[in-house]
Chains A and B, each alone.
Chain A
């Protein structure tokens, strides 16, 4: 696609429910990142995928958070048993990791705004 696509754009859920957030990266991009941004705050790194390598999960805040990337393209971030403190905007970015002019420039989706009631 022309850009990074995230869905849904907004999600309201009840405490304790599971949610799935989707990210469709730019075609051909090998790297995919998930971030979380709480209201008025900076970006908090969650997880990073690169090609077929094992993901870097070092930013996941708890074992309720998980993510997968199928076929090296679309990624799903799953939050189990949501808590009110999970309310935030979840941002996805993709980039092409390679030489030359690619330079690992990150492109962001519009985000999913998650509200846990």
Chain B
């Protein structure tokens, strides 16, 4: 099956800093989502982005499908950005997503 790798596994930032999270995948995808799991465990949709670029406030994401990676940009980070960021992809005819292991982000005040 498709392999999904996220990097870095852990990230510690000072409030106000910018960061880039990466998701590499081993095959072509027809569905890619970025999620934020907050410290209470709730998974929140950030982006549906199988290709192209999207922005939502301080967050933006870019997927380069031909090169099999996606990037999540966080600008002017805030303490509320802390948590784990997951990338999930689907490929071929499968309706079952494959999740990466996540990037754990801690933002200090």
Interface size class of A (residues with CB under 8 A): 20 to 34
Contacting residues, chain B, for A45 (C-beta < 8 A): 96-97
Query: A103, A104, A110: which contacts B95 (Cβ < 8 A)?
Result: A104
Q: Bound complex: CA of A42 vs CA of B97, how far in Å?
A: 12
Number of A-B residue pairs at CB separation under 8 A: 48
Number of interface residues of B (CB under 8 A): 20
One digit per residue, 1 when the CB lies within 8 angstroms of any chain A CB and 0 when it does not, for chain B 35-62 equals 1000011111100100000000000000
Query: A56, A89, A103, A113: which contacts B96 (Cβ < 8 A)?
Result: A56
CB distance from B101 to the nearest CB of A (A): 5
**Residues of B with Cβ closer than 8 Å to A?**
31, 33, 35, 40-45, 48, 86, 88, 90, 95-97, 99-102
11 interchain pairs, CB-CB under 8 A: A41-B101, A43-B86, A56-B96, A58-B96, A59-B96, A97-B95, A103-B48, A106-B88, A108-B44, A110-B42, A111-B42
